[in-house]
Amino acid sequence: MMYIILDLEWDNSYLPSKNRFINQILQIGAVKLNKDFEILDTFEATIKSSFTKRVSGRFSRLTGITNETMRSGIPLETAVKAYNEWIGTDTVTMTWSTSDLFSIIDNEKLLLNNLRFKIDKYLDLQSFIQNEIRMMGVEITSQISLLNAANILKITADELSLHSAKYDSLLCAALLKKCYQKERFEAMIKDTSNPEFFERLCFKPYYISDIKSGNINKEHMKFNCDICGSKGIRKSKWRYRNRWFVADFFCKKCSREFSGRVSFKKTYDNLIVKRKICEVKKKEEGQDEVQSVSSPL
């Protein structure tokens, strides 16, 4: 088994033939490691765009890749074929977060004809490193950058040219070697030959706004009074507001009105249901005012 750390540099550019923007890959960098995470070889290729002669100023400042550098590169198809040959067999590919995978999918779909990046097994290195850092007692509240992870682990990156694909890969290799824990590492390896891998990757969670959706269990639309527990009588049609279905209810026992609210968020594996009750208070002029008075049910 060998390990590949892949890093891409891409620039958001307008693709006239598709009338849309694409994160076109303009540099491929990778490091090949043995089972002891020792560096065996490196790969680097700069890509010549097939539809534009310019790179954005931000991309150039970030990566050092100028218009001239880009135009002197090789076609994306040539670079991918060379990379696939270099990667070999029986490998696990790692990237720093899954963002490069989305660029790969887009470039394969729009710029490559039936050619795919060779990725047999995959691991999100950012997630693995973050988990290991948390287990060291460091609090992380959002996705950590490559440089911040290096600083926390006291790995010097001064001599590396960050945001160069190959050197970002080398820094990733240093982080991996310092954080490696066999059981947790192997548990995060995914088999990309399973169609579910890319289905899950590309699935975007969403809030259900159609009350007739088959994903909605009507039992979740029923509310009991949060004071006496009696069944609430719905007095209005359901409205959809700010991701919540809202309806007015009346409790006969308490002689009070309340608002029942429920939201449905569809993820790849689950349906997340949130419910809450809001009390309806009367304003002096007789208009209804809704105030939240209870925790989610």
Please say whether the beta carbons of 240 and 211 come within 8 A: yes
pLDDT digits (tens, 9 = 90+) for 210-220: 999 999 999 99
So what's the pLDDT on residue 160?
54
Cα-trace Rg, the chain: 26
- pTM comes to 0.80
Hey, CA dihedral for 52, 57, 58, 63, is it positive or negative? positive
pLDDT digits (tens, 9 = 90+) for 209-258: 999 999 999 999 999 999 999 999 999 999 999 999 999 999 999 999 99
pLDDT digits (tens, 9 = 90+) for 72-92: 999 999 999 999 999 999 999
So what's the pLDDT on residue 296?
45
User: Residue 293 — pLDDT band, cuts 50, 70, 90?
Assistant: very low
pLDDT digits (tens, 9 = 90+) for 158-211: 655 556 788 889 899 999 999 999 999 999 999 999 989 999 999 999 999 999
User: Residue 147 — pLDDT band, cuts 50, 70, 90?
Assistant: confident
So what's the pLDDT on residue 283?
52
Task: Fill in the DSSP letter of residue 243.
Answer: T
Please say whether the beta carbons of 171 and 161 come within 8 A: no
Mean pLDDT of the chain: 91
Set out the domains of the chain in order of their start, with CATH numbers.
Answer: 2-202 (3.30.420.10), 206-292 (no CATH)
Q: Among 88, 87, 111, which residue's Cα sits nearest to residue 25?
A: 111
